């Protein structure tokens, strides 16, 4: 009998619980490091969704108006691309339509960024090695990152559901709305966990996971817009969020898809993690060129550092332009075919005016995004300084002005390029789909006119880098304030003086409005002055050293 | 060109504060043309701060600093064409290869000697095709060293350049610095590796708490400290403690051990000779003792000097 007992040394040498040793400490560390970032993500997303209930209630007080808007959306493919179809015309249903997909994308983005930052970025910095040398299980850092991102996603879902309940909407719909937000977060956390195992650089891992998210968005968009391709939506976790049918069909079984995808993804990430070396990826890094003959100036270095980012943003602006032009066309088609909507729109100011307002709105979004690109480009100066990479460059024959000027060139020229690109594409799309003779000019102008406002926000970041280097994050706060003022200002009927703080308030709403040169010139002068302050400050101050 | 009367690096009474912290507290430093000048001091003494003032990366609060006859803050760009710098903690661009980083830094300084670059790559056994993020600390250090040595400059400013290098590479580095000196270049070498300083440096400055406490050739500095003597005598000593310059006398039977100020050495040996000297061991002060004497907190200076 005793001979039948098999030895179990192999199992004993890898006690399963040891994989997770130190998990609690790592969770606390992650929470400590991410607390502000997570608080902002959670607050911004859940507040936006929760606030949508009262906002929509004010905009569409009765069932008839909600039916009308739903009918309009259904007839406008460009809307379907972004937000998907309307599943239910109740107040909750409209909220689920408006934020189901976009909110899911935002939560997924948060989750993937947190996971990469807590895993691959830590390995890249060498901190993970210090951690791994302690009594820490092999997969504990990954598990802590996934748990943190998953918990944050769930908190957003819960808060959004509470927002629905507070607005008096049904319980099951509210829970499913929350699930449609949290679900993509859980899945993308697992996807980012896999990406972090595959490649050695955190940038590449972010790109990989972000690419997966983009594919999911595209699959869902195809399924929602192309008739007969509806099944494609079922391939995307973002599509599952819609298929839950919050406040409408309330399809609870769809939750299983989220659970299964999260479990499979997590399992795959863990398997990969257990079989690889700390600091290395599954795909080994390739050797690069042995010499850098083309790298001979700060501008060439900045180009090398910025080109990938600029290429990514260019794709985004291409899509933005196509959507803007496409929607403008669709609005006109929609108005031609739907008598009821025409009636409503005539009340608002006529068919042409609606298209113009739509172009102007897309223009403002483009202007804000162009500023975001520019501020991110300027952030390079701060990060190069903080990592000590600016020091050897400034110890050569490169002046401070030339150094900051190289990145400033990319921030200013890059944002101009992005706006012109999106504007050009918007104009072409609008004109090609029958927008009339002025269509190209209208599309281009709606985006290009935003440049002075974007330049002011970029100049704010330049001024901060030069004059107040500890406070460079305030440039992002300024962008956030401009965004909030633009979105909430008219809704809350804020006084003119408050609205005027945002540079975007001063931009003429082309093509709906006339071109007024004075505010544009004033904004340009303000941007120039802020840049002068920043460059002079950067020249005069001590370099911030490690 | 700088002449003998004009130092390549001159710092007089330089003060630099960071908030409440006085990183440089009246620092004086003078580096002569063509010399390899050692810059020693404990962690946090202000070595890197002083070097960054010399590079115009930090602006001194008061005092004067000159590099190659110019003002390091105002003439930064012009001066940087004539000097090369190796930081103590090299951080590279993660997506640039080592070869690209070397060429970039060289090009920004005004060009580097391609043949020398390739020779140095071979001598330091560095693979230039790897990405910055994959290099170890020692290899990152090599990238900065090669970029500095391959350029045609008058002055090299090296801030603990060899931390992370293995002994073999350390030897290669020392060879390179020697040939730099032969070519007439001036070197400011901040270091913790005393054997490196002893092997390379013509003169040394010791910095402590933001001020230079000692400067001179190694011989001069040795002169300032004590020699340890151990002797075996026929007739035991009784009154050695009274001899000028003699300290810490320990007598065990016929053997005596003490330390003596270097300028009183002959007097002390004379006193021993009259007592039938059987054997004598004299240990000159090592740089380490010199170092410890200045590094140790005020009260501990004597104890450190009396070791061995």
Interface of A to B at Cβ within 8 Å reads: 124, 200-201, 203, 285, 287-293, 295-298, 300-301, 304-305, 387-389, 391-400, 540, 542-543, 545-546
Chain A residues lying within 8 Å of B100, measured CB to CB: 288-289, 291-292, 295
**Nearest Cα to Cα of residue A96 among A246, A308, A321:** A246
DSSP string of A469-487?
Answer: GGGTTHHHHHHHHHHHHHH
List A336's β-bridge partners, or say none: none
The answer to whether position A3 is within a domain reads no
CB B272 within 8 A of CB B237: yes
What are the pLDDT digits (tens) for A158-202? 999 999 999 999 999 999 999 999 999 999 999 999 999 998 888
Mean pLDDT for the stretch of residues A53-70: 82
Among A395, A539, A541, which would you mutate to test the B interface (most chain B Cβ atoms within 10 Å of its Cβ)? Answer: A395
The answer to whether position A248 is within a domain reads yes
The answer, as to whether pTM is greater than 0.90, is no
Mean pLDDT for the stretch of residues B8-21: 93
The answer to whether position A439 is within a domain reads no
User: What six digits make up the tokens of B239?
Assistant: 């009154």
Query: Which residue in chain A is spatially nearest to B132 when comparing CA positions?
Result: A288
**Nearest Cα to Cα of residue B4 among B186, B147, B144:** B186
This complex has an ipTM of 0.73
Chain B residues lying within 8 Å of A544, measured CB to CB: none
In angstroms, the CA A520 to CA A451 distance is 9
pLDDT at B42: 84
| Tokens 């000297």, located at residue | B277
Quote the minimal CA–CA distance from B35 to chain A in Å.
21
Chain B residues lying within 8 Å of A309, measured CB to CB: none
The DSSP code for B70 is: B
The answer to whether position A337 is within a domain reads no
In chain A, the percentage of residues whose pLDDT exceeds 70 is: 89
pLDDT at A278: 76
**Nearest Cα to Cα of residue B250 among B236, B261, B235:** B236
Bigger pLDDT: A348 or B268? Answer: B268
pLDDT at B299: 43
**A200 phi and psi, to 5 degrees?**
-90, -20
What are the pLDDT digits (tens) for B238-290? 777 778 888 888 888 888 888 888 778 888 888 888 788 888 888 777 777 77
- Measured N-to-C along each axis, helices B98-109 and B114-123 cross at an angle, to the nearest 10 degrees, of 140
Split at pLDDT 50, 70, 90, the class of A347 is low
3-state secondary structure of B281: strand
- Give me the number of domains chain A comprises: 1
**Nearest Cα to Cα of residue A125 among A141, A144, A149:** A141
List B22's β-bridge partners, or say none: B17
pLDDT at A353: 65
In angstroms, the CA A305 to CA A302 distance is 5
Among B23, B121, B126, B133, which would you mutate to test the A interface (most chain A Cβ atoms within 10 Å of its Cβ)? Answer: B133
Chain A residues lying within 8 Å of B128, measured CB to CB: 290-291
The answer to whether position A153 is within a domain reads yes
Distances from the Cα of B289 to the Cαs of A286, A387, B33, B44, B296, in angstroms?
49, 36, 28, 20, 10
Q: Structural domains in chain B?
A: 9-221 (3.40.50.300), 226-284 (3.30.70.260)
Nearest by CB: B58 against A296, A387, A543: A543
Contact across the interface for B103 and A293, Cβ inside 8 Å: yes
Nearest by CB: B55 against A285, A301, A395: A395
The answer to whether position A201 is within a domain reads yes
3-state secondary structure of B190: strand
pLDDT at A207: 87
**Nearest Cα to Cα of residue B93 among A407, A116, A124, A464:** A124
DSSP string of A181-225?
Answer: HHHHHHHHHHHHHHHHHH-SSHHHHHHHHHHHHHHHHHHHHHHHH
Split at pLDDT 50, 70, 90, the class of A290 is confident
3-state secondary structure of B74: coil
**A193 phi and psi, to 5 degrees?**
-60, -40
The answer to whether position A273 is within a domain reads yes
CB A426 within 8 A of CB A367: no
In angstroms, the CA B63 to CA A213 distance is 58
In angstroms, the CA B213 to CA A18 distance is 54
| Tokens 């599309």, located at residue | A443
pLDDT at B3: 44
Count CA atoms within 13 Å of residue B210 on its CB side.
14
Alpha-carbon dihedral sign for residues A290, A293, A297, A300 = negative
Sheet holding B83-86, edge to edge: B83-86, B155-159, B186-190, B36-40, B203-208, B211-217
Question: Domain span at residue A43?
Answer: 19-283
pLDDT at A128: 84
pLDDT at A338: 53
User: What six digits make up the tokens of B201?
Assistant: 């440096």
Alpha-carbon dihedral sign for residues B43, B44, B45, B46 = positive
Biggest CA–CA distance in chain B, Å, is 74
List B70's β-bridge partners, or say none: B67
Rounded to the nearest angstrom, the gap between the alpha carbon of residue A485 and the centroid of all alpha carbons in its chain is: 19
Chain A residues lying within 8 Å of B99, measured CB to CB: 288-292
Sheet holding B21-31, edge to edge: B21-31, B9-18, B62-67
DSSP string of B169-217?
Answer: HHHHHHHHHHHHHHTT-EEEEE-S-HHHHHHH-SEEEEEETTEEEEEEE
Quote the minimal CA–CA distance from B258 to chain A in Å.
45
User: What six digits make up the tokens of B215?
Assistant: 């400067």
pLDDT at A219: 87
pLDDT at A189: 98
The answer to whether position A315 is within a domain reads no
Find the range with the poorest average confidence among A22-31, A488-497, B112-121, B206-215: A488-497
Mean pLDDT for the stretch of residues A342-360: 61
**A277 phi and psi, to 5 degrees?**
-85, 145
Question: Which H or E run includes A18?
Answer: none
Omega within 30 of 0 (cis) for the link into A511 = yes
Contact across the interface for B128 and A291, Cβ inside 8 Å: yes
Contact across the interface for A393 and B105, Cβ inside 8 Å: yes
């Amino acid at each position: 009998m005793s001979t039948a007992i098999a030895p179990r040394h192999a199992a004993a040498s890898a006690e399963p619980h040891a994989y997770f040793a130190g998990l609690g400490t790592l969770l606390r560390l992650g929470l400590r490091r991410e607390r502000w970032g997570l608080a902002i993500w959670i607050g911004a997303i859940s507040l936006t969704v929760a606030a949508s209930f009262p906002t929509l209630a004010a905009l569409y007080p009765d069932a008839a108006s909600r039916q009308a808007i739903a009918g309009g959306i259904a007839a406008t493919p460009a809307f379907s691309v972004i937000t998907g179809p309307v599943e239910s015309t109740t107040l909750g249903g409209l909220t689920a339509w408006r934020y189901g997909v976009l909110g899911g994308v935002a939560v997924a983005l948060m989750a993937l960024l947190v996971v990469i930052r807590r895993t691959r970025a830590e390995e890249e910095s060498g901190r993970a090695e210090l951690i791994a040398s302690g009594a820490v299980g092999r997969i504990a850092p990954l598990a802590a990152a996934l748990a943190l991102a998953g918990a944050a996603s769930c908190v957003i879902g819960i808060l959004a559901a509470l927002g629905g309940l507070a607005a008096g909407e049904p319980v099951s719909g509210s829970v499913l709305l929350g699930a449609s937000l949290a679900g993509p977060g859980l899945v993308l956390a697992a996807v980012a966990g896999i990406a972090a195992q595959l490649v050695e650089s955190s940038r590449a891992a972010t790109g990989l996971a972000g690419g997966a998210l983009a594919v999911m968005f595209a699959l869902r968009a195809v399924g929602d817009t192309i008739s007969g391709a509806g099944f494609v939506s079922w391939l995307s976790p973002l599509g599952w969020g819609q298929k839950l049918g919050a406040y409408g069909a309330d399809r609870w079984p769809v939750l299983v898809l989220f659970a299964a995808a999260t479990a499979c993804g997590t399992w795959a990430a863990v398997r990969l993690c257990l079989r690889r070396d700390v600091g290395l990826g599954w795909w080994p890094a390739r050797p690069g060129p042995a010499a850098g003959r083309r790298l001979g100036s700060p501008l060439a270095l900045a180009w090398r550092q910025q080109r990938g980012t600029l290429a990514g943003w260019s794709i985004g602006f291409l899509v933005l332009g196509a959507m803007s032009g496409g929607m403008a066309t669709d609005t006109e088609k929609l108005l031609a075919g739907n008598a009821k909507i025409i009636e409503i729109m005539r009340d608002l100011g006529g068919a042409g005016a609606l298209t113009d307002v739509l172009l102007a709105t897309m223009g403002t979004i483009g202007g804000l995004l162009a500023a975001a690109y520019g501020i991110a480009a300027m952030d390079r100066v701060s990060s190069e300084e903080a990592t000590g990479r600016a020091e050897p460059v400034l110890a050569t024959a490169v002046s401070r002005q030339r150094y900051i000027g190289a990145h400033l060139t990319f921030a200013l020229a890059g944002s101009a390029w992005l706006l012109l690109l999106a504007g050009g594409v918007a104009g072409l799309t609008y004109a090609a789909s029958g927008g009339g003779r002025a269509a190209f000019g209208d599309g281009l102008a709606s985006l290009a006119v935003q440049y002075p406002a974007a330049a002011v926000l970029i100049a704010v970041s330049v001024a901060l880098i030069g004059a107040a280097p500890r406070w460079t994050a305030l440039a992002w706060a300024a962008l956030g304030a401009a965004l909030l003022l633009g979105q909430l200002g008219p809704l809350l009927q804020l006084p003119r003086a408050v609205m005027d703080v945002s540079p975007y308030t001063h931009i003429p709403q082309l093509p709906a409005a006339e071109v007024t040169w004075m505010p544009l010139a004033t904004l340009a002068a303000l941007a120039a002055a802020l840049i002068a302050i920043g460059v002079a400050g950067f020249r005069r101050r001590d370099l911030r050293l490690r | 060109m700088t002449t003998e009367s004009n130092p390549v690096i001159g710092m007089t009474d330089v003060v630099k504060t960071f908030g409440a912290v006085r990183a440089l507290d009246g620092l004086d430093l003078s580096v002569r043309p063509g010399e390899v000048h050692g810059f020693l001091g404990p962690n946090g003494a202000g070595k890197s701060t002083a070097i960054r003032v010399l590079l115009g990366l930090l602006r001194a609060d008061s005092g004067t600093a000159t590099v190659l006859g110019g003002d390091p803050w105002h003439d930064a760009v012009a001066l940087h064409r004539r000097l090369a710098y190796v930081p103590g903690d090299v951080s590279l661009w993660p997506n640039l290869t080592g070869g690209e980083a070397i060429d970039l830094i060289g090009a920004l300084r005004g060009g580097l000697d391609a043949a020398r670059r390739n020779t140095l790559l071979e001598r330091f056994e560095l693979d230039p095709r790897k990405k910055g993020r994959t290099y170890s600390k020692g290899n990152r250090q090599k990238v900065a060293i090669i970029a500095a040595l391959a350029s045609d400059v008058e002055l090299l400013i090296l801030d603990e350049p060899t931390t992370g290098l293995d002994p073999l590479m350390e030897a290669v580095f020392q060879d390179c610095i020697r040939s730099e000196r032969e070519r007439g270049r001036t070197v400011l070498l901040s270091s913790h590796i005393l054997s490196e300083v002893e092997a390379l440096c013509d003169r040394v400055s010791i910095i402590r708490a933001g001020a230079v406490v000692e400067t001179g050739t190694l011989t001069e500095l040795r002169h300032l400290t004590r020699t340890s003597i151990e002797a075996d005598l026929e007739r035991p000593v009784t009154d050695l403690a009274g001899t000028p310059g003699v300290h810490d006398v320990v007598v065990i039977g016929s053997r005596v051990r003490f330390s003596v100020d270097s300028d009183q050495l002959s007097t002390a040996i004379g006193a021993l000779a009259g007592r039938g000297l059987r054997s004598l061991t004299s240990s000159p002060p090592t740089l380490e003792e010199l170092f410890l004497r200045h590094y140790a907190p005020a009260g501990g200076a004597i104890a450190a000097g009396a070791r061995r």
